[in-house]
Structures are given as structure tokens and as C-alpha cells.
Amino acid sequence: MSILKVENLTKAYPAAGGAPLTVLQSVSFEIGAGDTLAVVGPSGSGKTTLLGLCAGLDRATSGSVWLKGVPLDKLGEDQRAAVRNQYVGFIFQNFQLLPTLTALENVQVPLELRGEKGSAAPARALLERVGLGKRAHHYPAQLSGGEQQRVSLARAFANRPALLFADEPTGNLDPDTSETVVNLLFELNREAGTTLVLVTHDLELAARTQRTLRFRGGAVQEDYRNEPAGAPARA
Amino acid sequence: MSQPTVSPPPPVAAASAGLGWLLRMAWRDSRRGRGRLLLFVAGVALGIAALVGINSFGDNLARSINEQARELLGADLVLSASQPFDSALVPALRQLSPVQSQEQAFGSLVQFPRVRGVRLAQVRGLSGGFPYYGAWDVRPAGAVAAYRAGRGALVDDVLLAQFGARVGDSVRVGRSGFLIVGRVLHTPGQSGLGSAVAPTVFIPGAAVAGTGLVQRGSRVQYRRYFRFAPGVDAAAKIKPFETRFDQANIDSDTVASRQQRTGRAFHDLTRYLGLVAFVALLLGCVGVASTVSLYVREKLAPVAVLRCLGASGRQALLIYLIQTAGLGLLGALLGAALGAGVQAVLPRVLGDFLPVAVRVGVSWPAIATGVGAGLGLAVLFALLPLLSIRRVAPLRVLRAAFEADTAAPDPLRGLVLALLAAGIFGFAYFQTREWKLALGFGAGLAAALGALAGLGWGLTWAVRRYFPGGWGYVWRQGLANLYRPQNQTLVLLTSIGLGTFLLATLYLTQGLLLGRVATADAGRQPNLVLYDIQPAQRAGVEALLAQHRLPVMQRVPIVTMRLAAINRQTVSALKKDTAGGKGIPAWILSREYRVTYRDTLSRTEKLKAGTLPRLGPGGVPYVSVDNGYFERAQLKLGDTLTFNVQGAPLLTVVGGTREVDWSRVQTNFLVLFPNGVLEGAPQFHVVLTRTPNTAALGAVQQALVREFPNVSALDLGLILQTVDDILSKISFVIRFMAGFSIATGLLVLASSVVVSRYQRTRESVLLRTLGASRRQILRITLVEYALLGLLAALAGIALAALAAWALAAWVFEASYAPNPLPLLGLAAGVAALTAAIGLFNSRDVLRRPPLEVLRAEG
């Protein structure tokens, strides 16, 4: 079953006094439940734009996105937010933790937004799982970059998402910390059976996913499976 | 490509977190901002304190007036007339109540021989047990008994203090001398201010005749005070006498009517002072809007994260709305507590004006009104910047520079602005109960805010457009701060400008009023008015002035009369019509008219319509009336006015109107008769002169008391001083209330500076890291804030000058030439204060190493 389906997705921005600037051109692909996908490409190739559109953070100029069968382009801003809360988890390069909330409270937020009672226990368990059980009551400013990204990981899995978007998850971390975070990411992903869409510059990291979309100039230049190496992907 | 399988159904309902989560998030989110938002709380608190204080005081005063209504009058009923009570009426009056007192009151020069002091005073000759309610506050305690036993006079403390006279001295009233048996600190029904304007000497009623001051034509007020048995309705008791009282020109005053009149007057006073307090609250709310606006800018990133995690725009907005409403509530409660303290102080501030002792107590309606209005307005003002939160796009988590979401026009903003306008107007109406005043207040405020905001926009535009690129680095950096992103130009210009506007308007208006009075004492204008001169005394008085080398600048005969009918419709009938809404003011129908007769106009009069006073066909006098009076009395040329000239009816025709300059020291008259009509009527004369100094004034007053004891002398210098005293007291009260606006303005300034501290700190630290010296940072900050303060102050002063000019031109009809020096001082003071607060806020950046500051700021 397809979790995410993207069809002829195009995003263009109006440019002053000229033709619109197209940053994403007729992109189509789909990804099944539990699959892992890396989106790679140079800066400005449209990776982050694609992630924003797939997660319903932005609206496409044309084309469609279905997330768990829900057509995002038909929904309003608040409805897309509800879809994200229900099905999506996020990991960002700059962590994006709420600075005024403790680590535990940050992990609780997605659950609380669903109106779930007793969100503290699963959030605490997730923090234990990422090795931060003892830092639950620390604020982001009191945590290192690696620790903040681990809290971010715990938050991303808190609502048991069907689909996890990770935008350069190791972009702000040193190699050793990156390794710990990436290992955790894939372990948690495997345990939860979550579909993973990973946007990265790092080809080594991309190679740990099942499939890679290589972008250039706003279009898919290459789409291939990482296992077995070099095998062609479905169109 | 196949269509995806659709299972489960699309979950498009908004996230289901409820109020509990919103409250929790609001609390959590406030953790780092509470300290900074404390100043915002303080701004709201001060505004509400002023409002709760003045309204609580108003309620307490109204309650005290109700409780002490009898003490206000000192009796259950007072009858007063300018003629002795008709002997035919006296037996009937005795039936009203056996317990009554009589009084004759008149103005006269009184003399304190030991200290050689002379002054015009109100002389009251009392017989009977008045006051029946409330007590004289007299020193020594036994003085009242001595007075009632006819052993001497009671004299107002103010009068004794003026001349250094004391109990045991004597006071001379007319031909009689009295031992001063006590000093009066308080008389029931008379405020401290009343004593200052007309200090009283109480002499025994039986001794009035002996003074020789009550003669035919003297202006004497005859009063009778009645005490009824408990439960008797005074209004019902005098009902059967109404027609007879009307015919005899007797005024009645009952406890209820006095209570109503006093209550209404003070109700109005507290309502208007409430408007001044409301300005403080509005300033606090402007501060709320500016603080929240800066706060929201910091919160855009966390809001985008929340949106990304699934929070709806409404939920995000509610989190911050709850936060600001919570802080507003905290401010409101603090303000209410502070207001309860203020209302305890106000009776002392207003002391001299108050006719009763105010019992201080908490007024819950005033607190509810203050808290409700304060909270409501604070939330509405906060909503203006908060609205943008619901439109923050989650895309900001990926692209921090994304700004298209909040930049577009928001229709809800228009709705909030409309609600604000309605709220401000509604509250102004609630305070004043006058549509026009509320509209004027709203429009004036909008105009002032609009002008200040316009100046702010104009300034940022002008600095950017004509940026002095050739100036030194410090000046360029300081000036650039005025228009760079997150600048405070608009907010500070508005809040500081409005505060300065209030201060300067108060100062200019007071100057205008004082200047108007002061011209009376200037140059070659008369400064001493001698009146109550009997016809036979006129030559003697003028000879006495000549002996003292004083000029007779004007001599005028005056006849007192009352209006009996207009166009043959009696005053009683007209009063009933007026009550039905016909609109001739009651004072026109009830007042005592003091008129003169001549065939020419004086220098202060101009013919407006018709003719000068003249005798018409059949000897009917054609009178000339003041133009304003003509309009208010709804007269036409040719209408008839029938006057009651001390018992004799006199029919006149309105032959012309005059424009009278009432501000000049002249004897001015509403009604002017022609020669040849009133010469035989009981009358007195007024003579105006000018004394060169106080020694000459003292000498002529001493001689007058000695030779013409019934003649009164009004020292205009003393009047000027009294008016100055009164205005000082009034302006102190207004300044006390405006002080809240000023303090709130300073808090708004401080909170705006503090909330923007984070960004400013980063900039300053960056500059220091790049090599800027502390001195340079200091000077950049100084340039920015001093400029802002100076411009705001100048704008406020310019607006105030405009307002004062309008008042001078249209309300006071006076010339307008304010002294610019104090205003420039005010501008310099405000600029210095603004710069000082800016520098105080930057002290950390200047004192500590850059990295330490950045870490501390988080």
C-alpha cells in the first residue's frame, strides 16, 4: 500500500518582472509502508521544497500529494496540520525544539495535541530509549546539539507516525554524534515500521535507505534502489 | 501510476487538544518571557489603578454625600430670599416647624484692629440652634456655646491666618466690634475652598442691626433653617407653600435637593477625572500592543514548530492570547489593589474641594469596571499583533526567512480595530454619560494617535530617504536604528508623544486660565471695586478716594430686580415649560438681576442688533441685553421682559443686543436700562479705582471701614491670588491623575526597550566582536534614544500647543502666547529620560564580555 504518492508536482515562485522561477518540475513518485527513501542533490535542487510539499507545509503550484490516501492539496491549512499530527513525524537539521519546554514536554506535545491522556509515560519511555531519561527536565538550551537531536527523534516517534520526514538530520552535528543519531533513527524506524523520507547531502547516509531519488534543477534526475546496489527502481 | 488505497478515512478534523492543553502551553511558553512581560503587566496595572482609584473614590464620595446629606445642609429645610420674609408669611413658616434658626448674610469689609488687617468677608448673623446636623469644627471647644450666648464672633481660620489674628482679638464689622471667641475650621455644608473664596465671620443674629450694614438697598441674603421631626418629608411639607414662595422669590433647599445637586456636581468631577485616568489605561494598552508586537516576532519560530507538529492556527493564537490575557488579568488585579490604595489617598488630594468627610471603602463596582475595561482593552490591543500568529506558516521551520504568511492584509484586524474604537468610545461614554464628549474624546485621541503615528512613519521614511551618508559612523548607526527591521520608532513616538502631549496640554491650559485672570491686574486696569455705596454716600466715598490720591475710574448705579415674565408669560409658568423641555435655562428665570442705566455703551460693549437703551412710546423702557443671554433666553427684538423691581412690576421691551467682553475688569451687565426709569428705585453704587500698592490699599480700606462701614471693597489682587490658589489646587488634582499617564508612558517606554533587548544585545555584541568600542556603542544608543525621545516630546508639545490654541480661540476667547522655555525644558527632560532608559538597558552589553552576554541571553 502506498503511504505517500506524489504526482506531477510543480512549484514555481513569481519573479519580479520576469517568468516565474520553477524550483520543482513535474515530480512524481510513490513510496510504500515501511519503505525508506533518500532524497539527495546539490543545494537549490528542490529537495527541501519537495519535503515541504510532501508534508503539507506548503502548497504546490500544480500536481498532487496523497498522504495515507488523503489528498493534501484539497485540504486547508488547519486540516493539513491535523493530518501531520495524525500521520507525520519530523526531524530537522536545526532540531526545532520549543525552547521554553523541557525535553519531556517537547516529546509530549504531539501526543497532547491529539488530546491523549497520560502522555508523560510514553514520552518518558521514548526519552529513555534515546538515552536521555535523566535529562527529561532539561531545557533545550541546557542540552548539547546531539542531545537536542535525540530529543527531536523521540518527539518525531511520539505520535507513532506512519511517515517520518528527516531534513538533513545530521547537518549540524559532528561525525561521532551523527553516527549515534543516525543509528538511533534507523533503529527506531525499524522498530516502529515507519516509512522514512530522508533529505540529505550525505550519500553515505542516503545509502542506508532502500531507495534514492537524485534531484537536479528541480527534477528527478535518477531514481534507484540502494539494495541490491544499482538495481533500477520502479518508475 | 495507480491511485493510492484510501484507508482509513481522511482525518481532517483539527487536532483535539482542549483548553487544558492550551492553558498548559501558555504557561510553559511564558517561562522565558515572564520577566520581560512584567513591565507590560505594570503598565496595565497603573492604568487600571488610576481608573479604579478615581471611580472608587467617586462611589465613596457619592455614598458619603448620601450618608451625610443632612450635614451638607445642616438642617432639614433652608429657605432663602434677598428680601426680609414677608410678615404675612412668618406665622405660616412657624407652623412648618417650631425648631428654626434665622440668618442674615452679607458681604462686608471686616477689620482686625490689633493687626490692622481689612478684608472683604461673608458676614453671617445667626440666631437659633443651627446647625442641627453635623457640627462646627471650632477651636477652642467651648467657643460655640460662647457664640450662641452672644459673647462674641466666630471667625474662619483662613481669615485669622491671613492677618495673624487670634482668638481673644476683636473683629470690627460695620459699626460694631466683636470679641473673637473661636476660630472655625469647618462649617457644615461649606468646603475648604468655599472658605478660601469667601471666608466667613459669624456674629450673633441679634447684633446684625447694630452693625448698621443692613439698610434699604443693601444686598443681604435672608435665610431660615428648619429642623423637622424624624421621618417628616420636607418636600411634601413645603408643597402647599410653593406658589407663595414663588411670588415672594423665596428659594427652598431640602436635604434631598442639596444631596442631588452636590452629588451630581461631584459625580461629574469624578467622571471627568476618570477620563484622565482612562488615558493612562489607554497608554498602558498602547504599551501592551507594542510589547506584544515585539514578543510575537520572537515567537514566530516556535509557532511554526507547533503548526508543523499539528497545532491549528486557532490553537496557536489561543496559546498566546491566553498568555497575554493571563498577564493582563494579573495586571488588572494588581491595578485594582493599587487603585484601592489610590482611592484612600484621593480624599486628601481633593480635600479642599470636598463638602463632606469621605469614608474610604472598597467599591466593588469600581473594581469590576476597572478590571473589566482594563482587561478587555488590553486583550483587544494585544490581539492586533497576536492575530498574525494564526497565519504563521509551518514552512518557517524549513525556511526561516519566509515572511509571506503574515505580510498579507488581515480582515480580522479591521474587526479588532472597530471593536477597539467601539470599546474606547463606549467606555468614554460610560465615564461621562455625554455622547458629544465621548465622541470628542475618541476623535481627539484618534487624531493625536494618528498624528503621532504619522510622524513615526514620516520619520522612518525621511531618515531612510535622506540618509546622511556622509556623517560619522556613530550618527549613521544611531539614525539607521530608527528604520531598520524591529525598530521601535513608531511605538516609542506614539507612547512618549502621547504622555508629553498630556503633560504639555495641562501646563498650557493652566497658563491660559491664569493668564486670563492675570490681565485683570495688569497695566492701568482697575484693581479695587467699592460697592454697596448708598446714593447719599457716593460723594463722600469719591472725596475719600481723592484724599488718598486714587482715581475714580468708573462709577455705576446698580438696581437689583428679578424677572417676573417673558412676553407676559410668568416665570412660574415658564419654569414648568422649561421642565417640559422648552429650554430656557433655569438661571435666567431664577437669578437676581443687577442692572444699571445709561444711554451709551462702555468700552467693553459693542452694539450687535437693534438700538441702544432708550425710552419708547409711552415711556416704556427699551432695554439692551447681552447677546449670549438674548440667545439662551430665546428672545427676539420687540419681546417684552417684565421685571419685579423690589416689589414693583416694570414692563420693558427688548430693544437691542450688545456683545460684552466679560473678561475685562468692568462692571458688565446682562440687561441695560435707559436713563430716566430707575433713578428712583432703591439702588447702590459701584466705584472702580486703582491702588498703586498694598500700603495704599490698606490705607484706603482702613479709612473706608472707619467712615463708610457698609461699603465693601473687593481687592482684585486678592481675587487673583485666590483664583491662582484654586487653579493650583485643581491642576494638582489633574496632575495627580495625569501622573499615572506619565508613569504608564515611562513603563511603556521601558517595556518596549526591554522586550527588544534580545535583538539589540545581539547587534551590540556583534558590533563589539567586530571591534566597536564601548564608547561607540554607548553613543549609538544615545543618538537613537535621545532622538526618539526628543522627536516624540516635540511632537507631543506641538499637538498640545495646537490644542491649547484651539481652546484659547474657541473656548476662552483669549490671546494665546505660551512661554516656550518651560516647554523646551519639558522636551529636553523627556529626551534625557528616554536616552537614560535606553542606556540603562544597554548596561550589560557595555559592562560584560560579548560571549558572556550572548550565553546569558540564551
pLDDT in tens, B405-422: 666 778 888 899 899 889
Is residue B98 predicted with pLDDT exceeding 70? yes
> What pLDDT, on the 0 to 100 scale, is given for residue B852?
61
Q: Does B17 touch chain A (CB under 8 A)?
A: yes
Domain chopping of chain B, boundaries: 44-71+266-433, 77-227, 452-522+723-858, 528-722
Closest partner residue to A5 (CB to CB) among B4, B15, B32 is: B4
Give, in order, the Cα–Cα distances in Å from A113 to each of A82, A159, B16, B745. 9, 10, 6, 40
Closest partner residue to A77 (CB to CB) among B1, B309, B313 is: B313
- Which chain A residues have a beta carbon less than 8 Å from that of B3? 5, 66
> What pLDDT, on the 0 to 100 scale, is given for residue B1?
41
> What pLDDT, on the 0 to 100 scale, is given for residue B7?
43
Instruction: Calculate how close chain A gets to B8, using CA atoms only, in Å.
Output: 8
- Which chain A residues have a beta carbon less than 8 Å from that of B32? 99-100
Who has greater pLDDT, B107 or B195? B107
**CB atoms near residue B145 (< 10 Å):** 12
Closest partner residue to B29 (CB to CB) among A58, A83, A100 is: A100
Rounded CA gap, B355 and B187, in Å?
9
Provide the 3-class DSSP secondary structure of residue B620. Answer: coil
Please name the residues between 363 and 402 in chain B that touch chain A, using a CB distance below 8 Å. Answer: 393-395, 397-399
Half-sphere exposure at residue A231, Cβ-oriented, CA atoms within 13 angstroms: 9
**CB atoms near residue B161 (< 10 Å):** 12
Instruction: Calculate how close chain B gets to A50, using CA atoms only, in Å.
Output: 11
Is residue A36 predicted with pLDDT exceeding 80? yes
Rounded CA gap, B108 and B394, in Å?
84
Going by C-alpha positions, the residue among B615, B610, B642 that lies closest to residue B626 is B610
Q: Copy the grid coordinates of residue B788.
A: 526618539
B14 to chain A: nearest residue by CA? A82
Determine the average pLDDT of the residues in B522-531: 74
Rounded CA gap, B12 and A82, in Å?
6
> What pLDDT, on the 0 to 100 scale, is given for residue B675?
92
Q: Determine which helix (DSSP H) or strand (DSSP E) holds B833, and give its type and residue range.
A: helix B820-841
Domain chopping of chain A, boundaries: 2-225
Going by C-alpha positions, the residue among A39, A36, A42 that lies closest to residue A27 is A39
Provide the 3-class DSSP secondary structure of residue A9. Answer: strand
Rounded CA gap, B54 and B246, in Å?
40
Instruction: Calculate how close chain B gets to A48, using CA atoms only, in Å.
Output: 7
Fold classification of A2-225 is Rossmann fold (3.40.50)
Residues with Cβ within 8 Å of residue B821, at least 6 apart in sequence: none
> What pLDDT, on the 0 to 100 scale, is given for residue B125?
93
Rounded CA gap, A199 and B758, in Å?
33
- Which chain A residues have a beta carbon less than 8 Å from that of B399? 48, 52
Is residue A229 predicted with pLDDT exceeding 50? no
Provide the 3-class DSSP secondary structure of residue B223. Answer: strand
**B650: amino acid identity, one letter:** L
Provide the 3-class DSSP secondary structure of residue B519. Answer: helix
Q: What is the pLDDT of residues B734-787, one digit of tens each?
A: 667 767 776 777 777 677 666 666 666 767 777 777 777 778 888 888 888 888
B392 to chain A: nearest residue by CA? A77
B6 to chain A: nearest residue by CA? A69
Q: Does B6 touch chain A (CB under 8 A)?
A: yes
Is residue B186 predicted with pLDDT exceeding 60? yes
The alpha-helical segments, DSSP class H, found in B128-254 are 143-148, 157-163, 192-197, 208-211, 234-238, 242-247
Rounded CA gap, A43 and A163, in Å?
24
Q: Which of B235-249, B260-274, B536-550 has the lowest mean pLDDT?
A: B260-274
Rounded CA gap, B370 and B50, in Å?
9
Provide the 3-class DSSP secondary structure of residue B112. Answer: strand
> What pLDDT, on the 0 to 100 scale, is given for residue B363?
86
- Which chain A residues have a beta carbon less than 8 Å from that of B395? 52, 57-58
Rounded CA gap, A175 and A183, in Å?
12
Rounded CA gap, B790 and B493, in Å?
9
| Strand residues in B661-797 grouped as ranges (E) | 671-673, 684-689, 712-715
Is residue B578 predicted with pLDDT exceeding 60? no
> What pLDDT, on the 0 to 100 scale, is given for residue B2?
43
Q: Say yes or no for a CB contact (<8 Å) between B30 and A48.
A: no
Counting one residue from A and one from B, how many pairs have CB atoms under 8 Å apart?
135
Is residue A84 predicted with pLDDT exceeding 50? yes
Rounded CA gap, B558 and B562, in Å?
13
Residues with Cβ within 8 Å of residue A187, at least 6 apart in sequence: none
Q: Kindly indicate the confidence band of residue B147, based on its pLDDT and cuts at 50, 70 and 90.
A: very high
Is residue B838 predicted with pLDDT exceeding 60? yes
Closest partner residue to B397 (CB to CB) among A77, A92, A155 is: A92
Provide the 3-class DSSP secondary structure of residue A23. Answer: strand
Q: For cell 501531520, what's the residue?
A: A84
**CB atoms near residue B220 (< 10 Å):** 21
Instruction: Calculate how close chain B gets to A57, using CA atoms only, in Å.
Output: 5
> What pLDDT, on the 0 to 100 scale, is given for residue B486?
65
Going by C-alpha positions, the residue among B828, B793, B803, B737 that lies closest to residue B495 is B793
Is residue B225 predicted with pLDDT exceeding 80? yes
Q: Copy the grid coordinates of residue B113.
A: 484692629
Q: Say yes or no for a CB contact (<8 Å) between A84 and B309.
A: yes
Determine the average pLDDT of the residues in B245-254: 81
Instruction: Calculate how close chain A gets to B28, using CA atoms only, in Å.
Output: 6
Best A96, A165, A197 residue to mutate vs chain B (most B CBs within 10 Å)? A96
Is residue A232 predicted with pLDDT exceeding 60? no
> What pLDDT, on the 0 to 100 scale, is given for residue B71?
81
- Which chain A residues have a beta carbon less than 8 Å from that of B4? 1-2, 5, 30, 66, 69
Q: Say yes or no for a CB contact (<8 Å) between B15 and A92.
A: no
What dihedral do alpha carbons B415, B419, B425, B431 form, nearest 10°?
Answer: 180
Angle B106-B112-B115 from CA coordinates, rounded to 5°: 155
Q: Say yes or no for a CB contact (<8 Å) between B1 and A1.
A: no
| Strand residues in B90-152 grouped as ranges (E) | 99-112, 117-127, 137-139
Who has greater pLDDT, B287 or B351? B287
Rounded CA gap, B63 and B57, in Å?
10
Is residue B35 predicted with pLDDT exceeding 80? no
Q: Kindly indicate the confidence band of residue A145, based on its pLDDT and cuts at 50, 70 and 90.
A: confident
Rounded CA gap, B143 and B137, in Å?
10
- Which chain A residues have a beta carbon less than 8 Å from that of B319? none
Angle A218-A222-A228 from CA coordinates, rounded to 5°: 145
Rounded CA gap, A92 and B402, in Å?
16
Give, in order, the Cα–Cα distances in Å from B816 to each of A169, B121, B515, B661, B662. 72, 34, 9, 17, 17
Provide the 3-class DSSP secondary structure of residue B486. Answer: coil
